[in-house]
Amino acid sequence: MDNRLLDFNKAVNNFNFEGAYIEAAPYGFGHINDTYAAVFKKPEGNTRRYILQRINHKVFKNPEALMGNIEAVTKHLSKKIAKAGGDPGRETLNLIPAKDNKSFYKDSRGNYWRAYIFIENARTYQVVEKPEHFYSSGKAFGRFQYLLSDFPAETLHETIPDFHNTIKRFNAFREAVHKDIMNRASGVRDEIEFAEKRADDTPILLDLLDKGGLPLRVTHNDTKFNNVMIDDKTGEGICVIDLDTVMPGLTLYDFGDSIRSGANPAEEDERDLSKVWMELTLFEHFSRGFLESAGSFLTPAELKYLPFSAKIMTFECGIRFLTDYLNGDTYFKIHREGHNLDRARTQFKMVADMEKKMEDMRKVIDKYIF
């Protein structure tokens, strides 16, 4: 028997699923974990679906700590949602315990598995099909922050250390330029110069955190639009998913990365840079939703730096792409020659456009501060 099928069958048999297993199929668009939708027949005859995932322990080096984070955060969210009169079964992820009552199952080959209740009548979207969805995304991510605003962030593990340490990311970029192991630096002098001119931006948020000017919070750290489930009937963002990178950080990371990934009307690797810009209308839709949910507890400093966070998260992503290009494309998967360079250029174009629109972005935030 195929080892993967054997592992899967063992995982199915080691969780407290309700009913008899019928079938399963790959599910979703994720590129890191292996995700399946598994169907079970309940005693009364109807079926129920669950999500079963194999955690990629090559990316996430400490799956048990990761699952400790998810278990703690989802329990907290469930209690807060129930207290507010919501539906914890749909508004947060719900783990299915393994038969030993742990939040995961580790098979004989060292693979880690987890299971969730499948959220029915809702879906994720890969692109923003209408502005209202981006507003709903902002509202969902803002509510995620609000519900976790009283959670002790320092008790969580760092699943990927220094994930948003922009200073270290910039130092890694400079090292890649200096070593130039692929002899590519001479062909990207304009991009290197663009990055160097913004070196003074890289420590701003981290310095504020170190000095107590910004609070440490629970952050998602992967706030792409497709990590919010949108209700099929209402169009509301009901549940934030993909909690692998939940760890201590800054609210500004989540806000900024949402704008980076969702307010660009073009693809992330668009070669025609005339199609790339920061769409102010989309920025406003997301900001309105985010601040409706989170504006009441954010500090004045957090509110002040929301526009800057969009720029610095976009810049950080750009230098990561450029660093990987200079190092020979060893981290991000590429599908063509110069793919990471194209990605870096789109991010830098977004940064330049944000700089031009920074005052307009500030006015949008001021408009929705309650």
The CATH number of residue 45's host domain is 3.30.200.20
Residue at which a domain ends, from 120, 149, 168 = 120
- Give the confidence band of 320 by pLDDT, cuts at 50, 70, 90: very high
66 and 139, same domain (yes or no): no
Mean pLDDT of the residues in the chain: 93
Instruction: Record the tokens describing residue 361, joined without a space.
Output: 């972005």
100 and 161: one domain?
no
51: nearest Cα among 234, 233, 242: 242
Instruction: Calculate what percentage of the chain has a pLDDT beyond 70.
Output: 98
224 or 304: which leads in pLDDT: 304
Return the ∠ at Cα 255 (arms to 74 and 116), rounded to 5°.
25
For the chain, the residue count is 370
pLDDT digits (tens, 9 = 90+) for 235-248: 899 999 999 999 99
Q: Where residue 370 falls among pLDDT bands split at 50, 70, 90?
A: low
Under a CB-based contact definition with an 8 Å cutoff, are residues 4 and 36 in contact?
Answer: no
Shared-domain flag, residues 184 and 103: no
Range of the domain at 306: 131-368
Q: What is the model's pLDDT at position 127?
A: 74
259 and 181 in a common domain: yes
In a domain, 297, yes or no: yes
pLDDT greater than 80 at residue 2: no
| Residues 6 or more apart whose Cβ sits within 8 Å of residue 281 | 131
Cβ–Cβ under 8 Å, residues 159 and 62? yes
Strand partners, 228: 240
Q: Tell me what pLDDT residue 275 has.
A: 95
Q: What is the rounded CA–CA span in Å between residue 19 and residue 21?
A: 7
CA 258 to chain centre: 8
- Considering only CA atoms, which of 74, 25, 34 is closest in space to residue 57? 34
pLDDT tens digits, residue range 143-156? 999 999 999 999 99
| Residue 3, pLDDT score | 56
Domain-located, residue 162: yes
Residue 125 lies inside a defined structural domain of this protein: no
The reply to whether 165 falls in a domain is: yes
Q: Report the half-sphere exposure of 185 (CA within 13 A, side-chain side).
A: 15
Within 10 A of 123 (CB to CB), how many other CB atoms are there? 11
* Whether residue 114 is found in the same domain as residue 141: no
pLDDT for residue 29: 75
The CATH number of the domain holding residue 289 is 3.90.1200.10
The predicted pLDDT at position 5 comes to 60
Q: Where are the alpha helices (DSSP H) in the chain?
A: 3-12, 63-83, 88-91, 131-147, 166-179, 189-196, 204-210, 251-262, 280-294, 300-304, 306-326, 339-368
Residue 26 pairs in a beta bridge with 36
Residue 217: strand pairing partners: 249
Is residue 324 domain-resident? Answer: yes
To which residue do tokens 């129920």 refer? 48
Q: Are 83 and 195 within one domain?
A: no
Tokens of 280: 């102010």
Q: Report whether 129 contacts 71 (CB < 8 A).
A: no
- pLDDT tens figures, 196-238: 999 999 999 999 999 999 999 999 999 988 899 999 999 899 9
pLDDT in tens, 327-350: 999 888 888 999 999 999 999 999
pLDDT value of residue 108: 87
pLDDT band at 18 (very low <50, low <70, confident <90, very high): very high
Q: Does a structural domain hold residue 294?
A: yes
Helix %, strand %, coil % of the chain (to 5): 50, 15, 40
Q: Which of 124, 130, 82, 81 is nearest to 293 (CA)?
A: 81
Q: What pLDDT does residue 6 have? A: 63
Least confident of 58-62, 285-289, 311-315, 322-326: 58-62
Residue 1 banded pLDDT, cuts 50, 70, 90: very low
pLDDT at residue 59, as a whole number:
82
Residues 206 and 296 both lie in one domain: yes
Q: Identify the band that residue 7 occupies on the pLDDT scale cut at 50, 70 and 90.
A: confident
136 and 74 in a single domain? The answer is no
Beta-carbon contacts of 19 under 8 Å, excluding residues fewer than 6 positions away, are: 40, 41, 42, 43, 47, 48
Q: Which of 80, 101, 120 is the last residue of a domain?
A: 120
CB atoms within 10 A of CB 158: 14
Residue 129 or 340, more confident? 340
Query: Is the same domain home to 85 and 41?
Result: yes
Q: How many CB atoms lie within 10 A of CB 300?
A: 8
Number of domains the chain contains: 2
Position 274 in a domain: yes
Give the DSSP letter of residue 231.
E
The tokens describing 149, both together, are: 């605003």
Select from 91, 120, 149 the last residue of a domain.
120
Regarding whether 115 and 140 lie in a shared domain, the answer is no
Statement to judge: residues 257 and 359 lie in one domain: yes
Q: Which tokens belong to 121?
A: 């009548």
Residue 126 included in any domain: no
Contacts of 333 (CB under 8 A, 6+ apart): 31
Q: Residues 296-310: what's their mean pLDDT?
A: 97
370/291 Cα distance (integer angstroms): 8
Q: Grade residue 32 by pLDDT with cuts at 50, 70 and 90.
A: confident
pLDDT per position as a tens digit, 76-102? 999 999 999 999 999 999 999 999 999
Q: Do 240 and 144 touch, CB atoms closer than 8 A?
A: yes
86 and 165 share one domain: no
